[in-house]
Structure 1
Amino acid sequence: MIQNLRARAVLYADVWRAKFGQAKEVLALGVRGASRAVQLPVEGKAFFMDSVRFFMHNPTSLKNEILSGVSISLMQVPESVAFAFVANISPVKGMFSTFFIGLVGGFITTMPGMVSGIAGGMVAIQKDLTSDSGPLGDMCMVDRVEWLYATTLICGIIQVLIGVFGIAKFLKLVPHAVMVGFMNGLAIVIFRAQLTAFQTDKDGSQQQQQQQTVNGNVCPLPDYEPPKDQRWLRLNEGQTWQVLAIVFISMAIMILQTKIKRRLRIWKLSISANIIPSSLTAMIVCTLITKLIYEKAAGKPIRSIGDRATFPGNVPMGHIPDVPWSEGRFWGIIMEKAVLLAVVGLVETAMTWRLCQKIIGENIPSHYCNADFLGQGFGNILSSFFTSVGGSVMVGQTTVNLLNGSRSRLSTFVASFLILLYVAVAGKVIEMIPVAALTGILFVVVVKTFEWRTLVYILRWSIPLTDIITIVLVTVLAVVTDLAIAVLIGIAWSAVSVAWKMASDTRVDEVKKLDVQGVSVVKISGPLFFGSAADVSMFFNDTERFHQSVIVLDMSDASVYDSSGVEILKRLVAEVCSNSDSKEQKVVIKGLDEKSAVLVTKSLKLANAASTSESAMETPNDMHSTDIEISANELLLEEQHEKADIRSIVDDAHKHH
């Protein structure tokens, strides 16, 4: 009795020592992350001085970084404006969001050249808070935008916590099929949001901003309000063909300019066709066509950015989101959207991280990605206090930046400050850009985002059926619900698929040819976990297998993965011993690998009733295996002691009561 109690105490001590060790590791990780955040100013100063010395000795790299930053900033303008329209916010807020998230994210990131800004994946969720059909449809537009700022703040806090506690390592659990479905769903969501370019006001004139009335109260005028009372353009209307022409011209420039390889030579000056981004070229050409041909020559203007929002030409002021922080409804809506935004931002970061590694040809440890999540989090927090909606990594701009040769943070700093300069100086020019030009630009983004090769894979059945289902499921859910829910359900489905496949790989066979009398050998192959436990248990329903003095469970080709696998072994041992005619019958679990042996011996009943021995059996991995021998008599005594302990605990409780 005393021996069993001592063994039990040792077992509990080992288990709790392991638990405290894990808790200590998590706490230490959090402390290291917090200390790094405190050291950021010092590290930033040291980095700045090192960068100055480097660029003083490498003027060519300085030139490449600055020119790449200029190119990236010009690429960010149309997408920032277009994504702002998708989120139903002012284009000015879209530009400021790109400035703040790009500046902070570019400073803290460990992947030089990674560009951040207002992103399509996040605005696809943010638009739910500002739309009339969303959960805040009964509120004024000004109040909806305030709630959006608060959501961005909470999202940033969540991302900072993820970066501090190193949760980024779990992103490697996102399967490739889920990534593909995410990209396809994102492309469809962006495409659907651009169809508003083919709408016009029902009365045929440009809509004037009117006072909004909600629940009998007159709302203050917002700085931007999505157009209402819209109808689809008809084919017999001239404006339809005007819009289509601008869209097609914009798309053609985006596609064809990048294919021009010849250079224009003027004296000794050689000019590339891609000296400015194709998206900027498309905006310039389409704006000239709209102003010179549509308005001046034909007198038939089409909708421009200035018709939907204005650029005041000033910088944002500090602002605390004006929301009811103490209301339960507020937290019920905000927390859901904030978590979804954080998940989408992290998924986009993980995808871009992998892409960057491929482009630069370096294998950077995945835990470095935690710094990028910190940068995103702090950038979103800062954005929320300056009437902006934050963002995440921009895949297209990051790719172009790295292909331009950028390998430092300077290019992202240059791009961010130029964005701020454009808002302050070039606001009136941006107002002249036709909305149809932005639609054409984003249509090309959609074409490049969608994974078209997956259609070929699906039609040819060249990938597993489970991957096909995952891609289709995530794509459809991204369109019907939102991107974050689609990703989470896709991960869950992939996990179930893997578990099902692993369960089908588990086999239980009785070894027929054995010359030793009174010994029965059963070989278990494959993973033993919750998915395969039922099938293994069914094999032992035949009690005739148990009428042997020694039962050997050969697990040299099996592994125990979870408590379900341990529980099925416990039940098998109990079943064998309960059907035994002799209390001296033994069960030998042979060939356990190290991790499986730890799980099995942590089980109280098996640990106390078993005698373990390590045998230097030669395994494929040349590792030691563990054999566990359990007798029916010892198991029976252990059960009696356990019942006696339970009775004593109950009696003590009654006495105290």
Structure 2
Amino acid sequence: MVHHISDEAADEPSITTQTPSAGPSQAPLMYKVGYPPRKNLATEFTETLRETFFHDNPLREYKGQSGPRRFMMGLEFLFPIFGWGRNYSLNKFKGDLIAGLTIASLCIPQDIGYSKLANLDPQYGLYSSFIPPLIYAAMGSSRDIAIGPVAVVSLLIGSLLQAEVDHVKNKEEYMRLAFTATFFAGITQAALGFLRLGFLIEFLSHAAIVGFMGGAAITIALQQLKYVLGIANFTRKTDIVSVMESVWRSVHHGWNWQTIVIGVSFLAFLLLAKFIGKKNRRLFWVPAIAPIISVILATFFVYITRADKQGVQIVRHIEQGINPSSVHKIYFTGPFVAKGFKIGVVCGIVGLTEAVAIGRTFAAMKDYQLDGNKEMVALGTMNIVGSMTSCYVTTGSFSRSAVNFMAGCKTPVSNVIMSVVVLLTLLVITPLFKYTPNAILGSIIISAVIGLVDYEAAILIWKVDKLDFIACMGAFFGVVFVSVEIGLLIAVAISFAKILLQVTRPRTALLGNLPGTTIYRNTSQYPEAKLTPGVVIVRVDSAIYFSNSNYVRERILRWLTDEEDRAKAVGLPKISFLIVEMSPVTDIDTSGIHALEDLYKNLQKRDMQLILSNPGSVVIEKLQASKLTEHIGSNNIFLAVSDAVRFCTTKSMQEP
């Protein structure tokens, strides 16, 4: 058997099967386009619903199981720890212990610094690395994610909260609004998971995220100049113009040289440690422990020299003890509820996007599956519980997760180890941070966020897709020159604009025959492809919906007019057939059918014939239901472009 495959794949196999020739007169065996059985409304609706929300069929494993077994499987679904915990071993614990201690040394100084980004007292950063990781360890499905506050979300929640309440003048209200926003961030994340709406976060394109993260990293780094340079009076705005104006305005009377020495020296040390870790993956622990070593050395230096009396700003006081309850501080009534909900939804979605992206990256590297909806439930639950235990929005941290991965973590127990170390820090060590200079915290944050500026990804985006690059740069400049929330809004807007552009203006192509084959390809891609005299073949590379149906019809007619003009100019036969190749057309609605009907009527007026090639099962079913197949004629619908061309040329030869 010889199989000739049409130029584009479709829902239905597009194969013209040709039997071996017994003689020169034997004609090839030709298959007709198949018509699938009609589905009733209930069946079609159920299948669409299942494919949209339950494409992974989460209930398939429950079939045929006993009641107790189903209960245990349901428990394992919500709490994966009951699944992997049964096979936990001492060997796995060794890997988790090393990884947990390593990320703990990284997270403690980062948490103190990130809490400043959120305009909260230092202990709240540590609180957020104690309770949430324990919840995630029980409910999360990723083996590698390290949970805690992250720079981008800390800056985002800080800037959004500051726009509503002044964190200096109304400290208590600010803190309560932070817990309220965290509560609603958790509700948003858990709801998306339970309702299986995780696909919504994928509307933020990769390019927009790259730009947003890069812009946020620049903004965060610039914000740390107030600590590294020792500036007391610093702008509360985040845009680069306001920040640089504030820096230069204070150059003569606001900078502190002792602070600059501490900040710049340790920043150089941290960057050197990162360089060493990047050059030799076996030395991953060097950049991981560098922050805590920097804090110890800087704190000791300030203590023995009493540099704080020379204008070096220090942490001064971190509340000792474990997380106090904050249930009574969450706003459930009053005007702050709506504000908390708005801020929580934004921070929750950003945190979710970052965590799921990180989880999928490391899951792919270790070759295991990550359930996105389950992750959302886990992240949402930990933020709901966190809001009630004095934590602010937490998510997966890329820097800590990378260290966790390279340190050899085996399960989420590494998060438990990190949490225990943070607990001991809260109970015993916090008084020792009294003389920690703010400059070292600023240096740690700068060194941590530098990696978020992914210029290599931006270059690749430019090479691959210019529209994606516009989305990337729009988000980047929006964050850097306006604000974090405006940058996020631009990222979302451009992502949606790109989707709308692609939906409303789909690509079409003029097809020609590759000499010596039955293959028809885009003439722009294959200049050697030959056009068939008297026949125009156009491929539509998209579903045909109300949003693009008129454009598709007009674009096909333009192709036809251009080819008519070309045929007249070079003395070729008159165009008598238009073949529309429909293999890429995955779906069509009533507007699309009307567009095809209008196209058919237009061609009749021109004394031309409309031919359809390789419509998929969904498309042919709808064409049949609308009776358009009767107007066009079922004999004018073919399985492959080559069959349609053969029909056209044969018919042309038969005409006088």
How far off its partner does 1:474 sit? 1.5
1:310 matched residue in structure 2:
318
How far off its partner does 1:241 sit? 1.2
Match of 1:378 among 378, 381, 385: 381
1:23 matched residue in structure 2:
49
How far off its partner does 1:69 sit? 0.8
1:67 matched residue in structure 2:
98
Match of 2:186 among 142, 150, 156: 156
Instruction: Give the distance between the partners of 1:537 and 1:272, measured in 2 at CA.
Output: 59
Match of 2:219 among 189, 198, 212: 189
How far off its partner does 1:374 sit? 1.8
**Deviations 1:41-75 (CA, angstroms, capped at 9, x unpaired):** 77534543431xx21xx3xx433321221121121
Larger RCO of the pair (alpha carbons < 8 Å, separation 6+): 2
Match of 1:526 among 519, 522, 540: 540
1:492 matched residue in structure 2:
496
Report the CA distance shift for 1:364/1:501 in structure 2 as closer, same or farther (over 3 A). Answer: farther
Instruction: Give the distance between the partners of 1:552 and 1:166, measured in 2 at CA.
Output: 44
How far off its partner does 1:28 sit? 6.3
**Deviations 1:563-621 (CA, angstroms, capped at 9, x unpaired):** 354342132234456x499xxx975434323343245345x35367566479884579x
Query: Which residue identity lines up with residue 492 of structure 1 in the other structure?
Result: F
Instruction: Give the distance between the partners of 1:497 and 1:164, measured in 2 at CA.
Output: 32
1:513 matched residue in structure 2:
533
**Are 2:482 and 1:452 equivalent residues in the alignment?**
no
> CA contact under 8 A between 1:294 and 1:301: conserved in structure 2?
no
Q: Residues 500-649 of structure 1 correspond to what in structure 2 (within 5 A)?
A: 502-503=506-507, 505=509, 513-514=533-534, 521-528=535-542, 529=544, 530-531=547-548, 533-534=550-551, 536-537=553-554, 540=557, 553-555=579-581, 559=585, 561-563=587-589, 564-576=591-603, 579=605, 588-601=611-624, 604=626, 606=628, 612=634, 617=639
Match of 1:178 among 208, 219, 243: 208
Query: Which residue identity lines up with residue 314 of structure 2 in the other structure?
Result: S
How far off its partner does 1:294 sit? 4.4
> CA contact under 8 A between 1:527 and 1:561: conserved in structure 2?
no
How far off its partner does 1:77 sit? 0.9
Q: Unaligned 5+ residue runs, structure 2? A: 1-35, 60-69, 235-245, 278-282, 512-521, 524-529, 565-573, 648-656
1:640 matched residue in structure 2:
none
**Are 2:445 and 1:414 equivalent residues in the alignment?**
no
How far off its partner does 1:531 sit? 4.5
How far off its partner does 1:323 sit? 1.9
Instruction: Give the distance between the partners of 1:591 and 1:396, measured in 2 at CA.
Output: 49
How far off its partner does 1:278 sit? 0.5
Instruction: Give the distance between the partners of 1:605 and 1:138, measured in 2 at CA.
Output: 70
Instruction: Give the distance between the partners of 2:275 and 2:611, measured in 1 at CA.
Output: 70
1:636 matched residue in structure 2:
none
1:244 matched residue in structure 2:
260
Match of 1:398 among 381, 398, 401: 401
2:471 matched residue in structure 1:
470
Segment of structure 1 superposing worse, 447-456 or 426-435: 447-456
Instruction: Give the distance between the partners of 1:233 and 1:391, measured in 2 at CA.
Output: 35
Q: Unaligned 5+ residue runs, structure 1? A: 1-9, 204-229, 262-270, 515-520, 628-657
> CA contact under 8 A between 2:112 and 2:122: conserved in structure 1?
yes
Residue 524 of structure 1: SS of its match in structure 2? Answer: strand
> CA contact under 8 A between 1:537 and 1:568: conserved in structure 2?
no
Query: Which residue identity lines up with residue 592 of structure 1 in the other structure?
Result: P
Q: Residues 263-412 of structure 1 correspond to what in structure 2 (within 5 A)?
A: 274=286, 277-295=289-307, 299-306=309-316, 309-317=317-325, 319-325=327-333, 327=334, 329-330=335-336, 332-357=338-363, 361-365=365-369, 368-412=371-415
How far off its partner does 1:512 sit? 6.7
How far off its partner does 1:557 sit? 6.1
**Are 2:447 and 1:439 equivalent residues in the alignment?**
no
> CA contact under 8 A between 1:600 and 1:606: conserved in structure 2?
yes
Instruction: Give the distance between the partners of 2:143 and 2:430, measured in 1 at CA.
Output: 30
Residue 305 of structure 1: SS of its match in structure 2? Answer: coil
How far off its partner does 1:429 sit? 1.1
Residue 402 of structure 2: SS of its match in structure 1? Answer: helix
Instruction: Give the distance between the partners of 1:410 and 1:502, measured in 2 at CA.
Output: 49
Query: Which residue identity lines up with residue 491 of structure 1 in the other structure?
Result: S
**Deviations 1:156-215 (CA, angstroms, capped at 9, x unpaired):** 122112223433356566544223213212212312332332454569xxxxxxxxxxxx
**Deviations 1:413-462 (CA, angstroms, capped at 9, x unpaired):** 1001211221121111123211110001111122222123367669xx64
> CA contact under 8 A between 1:115 and 1:412: conserved in structure 2?
yes
> CA contact under 8 A between 2:539 and 2:581: conserved in structure 1?
yes
Query: Which residue identity lines up with residue 593 of structure 1 in the other structure?
Result: G
Residue 110 of structure 1: SS of its match in structure 2? Answer: coil
> CA contact under 8 A between 2:76 and 2:82: conserved in structure 1?
no
1:268 matched residue in structure 2:
none
Residue 290 of structure 1: SS of its match in structure 2? Answer: helix
2:118 matched residue in structure 1:
87
> CA contact under 8 A between 2:553 and 2:599: conserved in structure 1?
no
Residue 614 of structure 2: SS of its match in structure 1? Answer: strand
Residue 274 of structure 1: SS of its match in structure 2? Answer: helix
**Deviations 1:204-240 (CA, angstroms, capped at 9, x unpaired):** xxxxxxxxxxxxxxxxxxxxxxxxxx99884455962
1:218 matched residue in structure 2:
none
Instruction: Give the distance between the partners of 1:232 and 1:424, measured in 2 at CA.
Output: 41
Report the CA distance shift for 1:576/1:274 in structure 2 as closer, same or farther (over 3 A). Answer: closer
Query: Which residue identity lines up with residue 186 of structure 2 in the other structure?
Result: G
How far off its partner does 1:379 sit? 0.5
> CA contact under 8 A between 1:69 and 1:414: conserved in structure 2?
yes
Instruction: Give the distance between the partners of 2:55 and 2:555, measured in 1 at CA.
Output: 44
Report the CA distance shift for 1:619/1:410 in structure 2 as closer, same or farther (over 3 A). Answer: farther
**Are 2:81 and 1:44 equivalent residues in the alignment?**
yes
Query: Which residue identity lines up with residue 289 of structure 2 in the other structure?
Result: P
Query: Which residue identity lines up with residue 335 of structure 1 in the other structure?
Result: F
Residue 581 of structure 2: SS of its match in structure 1? Answer: strand
Query: Which residue identity lines up with residue 350 of structure 2 in the other structure?
Result: V
Report the CA distance shift for 1:505/1:316 in structure 2 as closer, same or farther (over 3 A). Answer: farther
> CA contact under 8 A between 2:510 and 2:536: conserved in structure 1?
no
> CA contact under 8 A between 1:550 and 1:588: conserved in structure 2?
no
How far off its partner does 1:532 sit? 7.2
Instruction: Give the distance between the partners of 2:363 and 2:80, measured in 1 at CA.
Output: 24
How far off its partner does 1:493 sit? 3.9
2:6 matched residue in structure 1:
none
Query: Which residue identity lines up with residue 175 of structure 2 in the other structure?
Result: V
Instruction: Give the distance between the partners of 1:272 and 1:346, measured in 2 at CA.
Output: 27
Report the CA distance shift for 1:369/1:303 in structure 2 as closer, same or farther (over 3 A). Answer: same
Report the CA distance shift for 1:259/1:492 in structure 2 as closer, same or farther (over 3 A). Answer: closer
Give aligned-pair identity as a percent. Answer: 16
Instruction: Give the distance between the partners of 2:341 and 2:582, measured in 1 at CA.
Output: 48
How far off its partner does 1:398 sit? 0.6
Query: Which residue identity lines up with residue 153 of structure 2 in the other structure?
Result: M
Instruction: Give the distance between the partners of 1:575 and 1:137, measured in 2 at CA.
Output: 67
**Are 2:157 and 1:126 equivalent residues in the alignment?**
yes
How far off its partner does 1:279 sit? 0.5
Residue 341 of structure 1: SS of its match in structure 2? Answer: helix
Report the CA distance shift for 1:465/1:25 in structure 2 as closer, same or farther (over 3 A). Answer: closer
Q: How many residues align?
A: 549
Report the CA distance shift for 1:526/1:588 in structure 2 as closer, same or farther (over 3 A). Answer: closer
Instruction: Give the distance between the partners of 1:305 and 1:588, measured in 2 at CA.
Output: 76
> CA contact under 8 A between 2:106 and 2:400: conserved in structure 1?
yes
After TM superposition, the score normalised by the length of structure 2 is 0.72
